[in-house]
Amino acid sequence: MSIVHNLRNTVRPARRRRGVDLSHPARSPLGSSVVNCVVYIDGVRQAGHSPTDEAVQLVREKQGNGFVWIGLHEPTQAEFAGVAELFGLHPLAVEDAVLAHQRPKLDRYDDTLFTVLKTVRYVEHDELTATSEVVETGEIMVFTGSDFVITVRHGGHGSLGPLREGLEAMPDHLAKGPAAVLHAITDHVVDHYLDVTAAVQHDIDTIETDVFSDHRGRSSDASRIYQLKRELLELKRAVAPLAGPLDQLAKESTPLVDEYIRAYFRDVADHLMRVSEQITGFDALIDTIMQAGAAQITVTQNEDMRRISAWVAIIAVPTMICGVYGMNFDHMPELRWTYSYPAVLAVIAVACTLIHRGFRRNGWL
């Protein structure tokens, strides 16, 4: 993870650089999808401007001392066809890269690795509601060969520009080749997972505080908890499947990833495991909060029923007395007594007061 921390520290404000730049649609056969196309020789960015095929030829003339890095954003099938033909990319991988909506994976096609990563971004909000979007996902597809890296990004976030600039400030690491770029991208993505989980932790703490307070309606809490659980599930779908590909990159021997870079992939895998454990803990905590909220609703309903029952018992006393004396029989006790009316009222008041005090003592009122 120290490599990415160094990259962050060395990133400077974006500025126009010299290099093999095909981002201008007027001179680029790849259309407006191109973010950048740069040649690196021995870890150093090369100056000059060349079409993609000439950039590849320049790299291959160096016989393994350089590579070309092409960055694309949501290319169409037609825009990506030229790149696929130039680098001999497998049609299945090309289809996945163009259509997107893939789960994290690592596929090997002859001498090319095709890696799919899910990017995540925490969506800021003033207050978590039943319709709040908490996590936004995107995708980065990475084609890695012996002398090229092709990154295809989908979504409105996950820009690799700052990462590229940071790597260019570390030519010794960049000289390790395309595998070093693949490591930096995976490390960058997993770092963002950590940032998002920290922000989601704040939302969970807020929900937990609200559930155990009395200022908010219980139904509102339940809908907010459910929405947060759905967003957490989306985060889990982005993070969990990446464990397998990182394990392959860290442990399996391949000519494209040497032992030096595999050690860095092991570090990324450790951090991904930490994120996965956090998400599992969040999921269990949200389930517990939901159960606690449901239990609180039950307790509240029981308390309401006790209050209603207590008042029904109190009202039953005057109802019974008034009902007896309202039967209009000729022979009833104390009908002709002067103080009958105030005496009955007094009996009703005393009886109701005693019952009320009893219920208060037992916590029903």
Would you call 259 helix, strand, or coil by DSSP?
A: helix
Q: Structure tokens of 161?
A: 């520009």
pLDDT of residue 113: 94
pLDDT tens digits, one per residue of 217-244: 555 678 888 889 999 999 999 999 999 9
DSSP string, 196-217: HHHHHHHHHHHHHHHHTSSSS-
Least confident of 177-186, 309-318, 323-332: 323-332
Quote the percentage of the chain above a pLDDT of 90: 33
Q: How many residues does the chain have?
A: 365
Task: Give me the CATH topology for the region 303-361.
Answer: Methane Monooxygenase Hydroxylase; Chain G, domain 1 (1.20.58)
pLDDT tens digits, one per residue of 305-320: 888 888 888 888 888 8
DSSP string, 35-54: EEEEEEETTEEPPS---HHH
Question: pTM for this structure?
Answer: 0.75
**Strand arrangement of the beta sheet that strand 105-109 belongs to:** 44-45, 34-41, 66-73, 148-154, 135-144, 112-122, 105-109
The yes-or-no answer to whether 2-296 and 303-361 have a common fold is no
**Cβ proximity of 231 and 134 under 8 Å:** yes
Average pLDDT over residues 3-10: 47
**What is the residue extent of each domain of the chain?**
2-296, 303-361
**Cβ proximity of 37 and 22 under 8 Å:** yes
Task: Give me the CATH topology for the region 2-296.
Answer: Beta Polymerase; domain 2 (3.30.460)
